[in-house]
């Protein structure tokens, strides 16, 4: 069943150029998306790091890009960091023939970038901050751009670039093709898709297991009567939480008990009418209740972008359930806290489960919770920062659709603090022992390395606006 690039519609000279560089057969995400992209469809692709997304969008882009007039490129690739922009351009150049490619990012002089744009370039690979600067300097315009790729949309979102991305997209041709690639397709990325892609076909490849390594994992040994107070403590100190209970009855009871302790909580489970569930969820997403008490079955059907904390009030049925429950926090690189309440008789099972997930955080007595200091690691590179500064310096008050995105979207730093209400005076957490050194390696390892190795599942569906979730 292995396809070839030729079968996907890639012309022979490009197949040959790829083959000379050792690219013989398409990886899964390439096999899934290239023909749709070549046909001009909007494509929304999710695949893990290292799975070959650059060629997945790059091959059709090079093939479909027409010759540009000076200062009026025809295609645009948006990428979060300069390293990535360079990498993309280098990779495209290996088979681009006489298609002209220019890279644009901050932290270097304008001269070279501006002279290339002036001479005429067909594809611009850009970080959003510098691109906006160049637009302001009238070094180029985007009206002829009829093909846009948003690469690593989740990282662009993490770094606060989505308002800039929206402003940029608003300046391109209305008839453009918009292709988006990301390691995750939820939250702000889903909104970008909804607002800027036209009837996109979604292709997802690889492991959908959430990456829970960014969260801090705690295991608190408690006596049965103390579980409720410990749970209330987590919710009060960390912000909004989803609390998992084993049964419907248990969820209802816990919601009542928390409410009695001054924590606004509501249960959500299959025993409630749909309209009640919708109402509860609405109250939660609007921040009017602090805690959602859910059964595993109910949780599967609810879409909540990111919460500050997840509490395993009752233990998960198995380690996979632990991962899926915990994946509700620390999404898209934000910080998050996961606390498991462990009754004395659950200690042995918990140890086994922790070993399977690959977390070596100890089982302790309930402890201090404070404002998380964690931010997204990959925002720390110098290059990333320099373009972030560009973004900041070129920020404009009125930015097309920007008003629709979240209000601090322009802040390039991680949004950890926006959903976490730590006590100002509280002690910082010692470190992210559970989240970092004791990270669930197995999980991360799978999601990184598994790609393209033949075990990747591919599923595709076609979805209209708003249905791609
Ligand atoms: P992603 O963007 O999904 O993280 P990349 O596009 O950077 O991944 O690809 C990762 C590596 O795999 C790159 O070195 C790339 O050259 C290589 N690669 C991509 N597609 C193929 C292929 N079909 N055959 C062999 N190597 C490939
Ligand atoms: Mg990539």
**Whether residue 26 has its Cβ less than 6 Å from ligand 1:** yes
List, for residues 274-317, the tens digit of each pLDDT value: 778 878 888 998 889 999 999 887 776 566 767 899 999 999 99
CA nearest ligand 1 atom 20, residue? 52
Residue from 8, 45, 55 whose mutation best tests the ligand 1 pocket (most atoms within 8 A of CB): 55
Average pLDDT, the chain: 79
HSE (side-chain half, CA atoms, 13 Å) at 390:
29
Atom of ligand 1 nearest to the CA of 22: 25
pLDDT at 96: 97
At 206, give phi and psi (nearest 5°): 95, -170
pLDDT band at 369 (very low <50, low <70, confident <90, very high): low
Q: Which CATH number among 3.30.930.10, 2.70.210.12, 3.30.450.40, 3.40.50.300 corresponds to the domain 212-420?
A: 3.40.50.300
List, for residues 416-469, the tens digit of each pLDDT value: 333 333 333 333 333 333 333 333 333 333 332 333 333 333 333 333 333 332
List, for residues 176-220, the tens digit of each pLDDT value: 999 999 987 888 899 999 999 999 999 988 766 667 777 899 999
Distance CA 189, CA 155 (A): 10
Q: Residues 6, 12: contact at Cβ < 8 Å?
A: yes
Residue 334 has pLDDT above 80, yes or no: no
- Residue/partner pairs of 449-455 with CB below 8 Å, 24 or more apart: 449/50, 450/48, 450/206, 450/207, 451/27, 451/28, 451/29, 451/47, 451/48, 451/49, 451/50, 451/51, 451/52, 451/205, 451/206, 452/27, 452/28, 452/29, 452/50, 452/51, 452/52
**Whether residue 155 has its Cβ less than 6 Å from ligand 1:** no
Residue 411 has pLDDT above 70, yes or no: no
Q: Residues 335, 375: contact at Cβ < 8 Å?
A: yes
CA nearest ligand 1 atom 12, residue? 52
Show me where the domains of the chain are located: 6-206+452-468, 212-420
For the residues 7-27, what does the mean pLDDT come to?
96
Pairing relationship of beta strands 458-462 and 201-205 according to DSSP bridges: antiparallel
Q: How far is the CA of 444 from the centre of ligand 1 (A)?
A: 18
pLDDT at 430: 33
Q: How far apart are the first and last CA of the chain?
A: 28
Q: How far is the CA of 272 from the centre of ligand 1 (A)?
A: 47
Q: How far is the CA of 365 from the centre of ligand 2 (A)?
A: 42
List, for residues 43-82, the tens digit of each pLDDT value: 999 987 778 999 999 999 999 999 999 999 999 999 998 8
Q: How far is the CA of 452 from the centre of ligand 1 (A)?
A: 9
Q: How far is the CA of 49 from the centre of ligand 1 (A)?
A: 9
Residues 198, 203, 208, 212, CA torsion sign: negative
Distance CA 206, CA 455 (A): 8
Atom of ligand 1 nearest to the CA of 29: 3
At 325, give phi and psi (nearest 5°): -60, -50
Q: Residues 405, 163: contact at Cβ < 8 Å?
A: yes
Q: Which CATH number among 3.40.50.1370, 2.40.110.10, 3.40.50.300, 3.40.640.10 corresponds to the domain 6-206+452-468?
A: 3.40.50.300
**Whether residue 258 has its Cβ less than 6 Å from ligand 1:** no
The pTM of the whole model exceeds 0.85:
no
Residue from 30, 54, 449 whose mutation best tests the ligand 1 pocket (most atoms within 8 A of CB): 54
Q: What is the residue whose two structure tokens read 């359930």?
A: 321
Same fold, 6-206+452-468 and 212-420: yes
Query: Among 151-165, 317-331, 377-391, 405-419, which stretch is predicted with the lowest mean pLDDT?
Result: 405-419
Ligand having the closest approach to the CA of 34? 1
Bridge partners (DSSP) listed for residue 102: 124
Distance CA 451, CA 350 (A): 30
pLDDT at 165: 98
Q: What is the residue whose two structure tokens read 């930015």?
A: 399
CA nearest ligand 1 atom 10, residue? 50
For the chain, percent of residues with pLDDT exceeding 70: 76
Ligand having the closest approach to the CA of 56? 1
For the chain, percent of residues with pLDDT exceeding 90: 57
pLDDT at 100: 98
Residue from 20, 52, 153, 447 whose mutation best tests the ligand 1 pocket (most atoms within 8 A of CB): 52
For the residues 123-144, what does the mean pLDDT come to?
98
pLDDT at 158: 77
**Whether residue 23 has its Cβ less than 6 Å from ligand 1:** yes
């Amino acid at each position: 069943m292995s396809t070839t690039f030729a079968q996907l519609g890639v012309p022979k000279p490009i197949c040959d150029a790829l083959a000379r560089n050792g690219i013989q057969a398409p990886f899964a995400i390439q096999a899934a998306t290239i023909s749709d992209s070549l046909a001009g469809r909007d494509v929304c692709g999710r695949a893990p790091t290292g799975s070959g997304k650059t060629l997945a969008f790059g091959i059709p882009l090079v093939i479909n890009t027409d010759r540009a007039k000076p200062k009026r490129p025809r295609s645009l690739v948006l990428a979060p960091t300069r390293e990535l922009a360079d990498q993309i351009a280098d990779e495209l150049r290996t088979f681009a023939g006489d298609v002209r490619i220019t890279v644009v990012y901050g932290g270097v002089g304008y001269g070279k970038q501006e002279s290339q744009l002036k001479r005429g370039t067909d594809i611009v690979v850009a970080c959003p901050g510098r691109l906006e600067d160049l637009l302001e300097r009238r070094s180029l315009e985007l009206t002829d751009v009829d093909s846009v790729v948003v690469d690593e949309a989740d990282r662009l979102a993490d770094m606060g670039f989505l308002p800039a991305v929206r402003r940029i997209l608003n300046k391109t041709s209305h008839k453009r093709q918009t292709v988006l690639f990301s390691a995750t397709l939820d939250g702000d990325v889903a909104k970008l898709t909804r607002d800027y892609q036209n009837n996109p076909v979604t292709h997802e490849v690889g492991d959908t297991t959430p990456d829970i390594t960014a969260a801090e994992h705690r295991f608190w040994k408690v006596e049965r009567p103390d579980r409720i107070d410990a749970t209330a403590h987590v919710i009060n100190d960390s912000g909004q939480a989803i609390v998992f209970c084993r049964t419907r009855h248990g969820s209802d009871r816990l919601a009542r008990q928390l409410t009695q302790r001054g924590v606004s909580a509501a249960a959500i489970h299959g025993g409630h009418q749909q309209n009640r569930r919708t109402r509860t969820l609405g109250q939660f997403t609007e921040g009017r209740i602090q805690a959602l008490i859910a059964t595993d079955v109910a949780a599967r059907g609810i879409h909540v972008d990111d919460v500050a904390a997840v509490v395993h009030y009752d233990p998960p049925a198995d380690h996979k359930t632990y991962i899926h429950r915990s994946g509700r926090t620390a999404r898209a690189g934000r910080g998050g806290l996961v606390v498991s309440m462990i009754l004395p008789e659950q200690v042995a099972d918990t140890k086994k489960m922790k070993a399977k997930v690959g977390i070596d955080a100890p089982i302790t007595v309930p402890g201090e919770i404070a404002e998380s200091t964690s931010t997204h690691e990959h925002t720390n590179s110098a290059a990333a920062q320099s373009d972030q500064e560009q973004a900041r310096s070129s920020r404009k008050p009125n930015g097309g659709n920007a008003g629709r995105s979240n209000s601090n979207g322009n802040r390039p730093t991680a949004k950890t603090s926006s959903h976490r209400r730590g006590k100002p005076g509280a002690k910082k957490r010692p470190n992210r022992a559970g989240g970092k050194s004791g990270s669930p390696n197995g999980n991360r390892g799978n999601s990184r390395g598994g790609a393209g190795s033949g075990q990747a599942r591919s599923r595709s569906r076609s979805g209209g606006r708003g249905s791609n979730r």
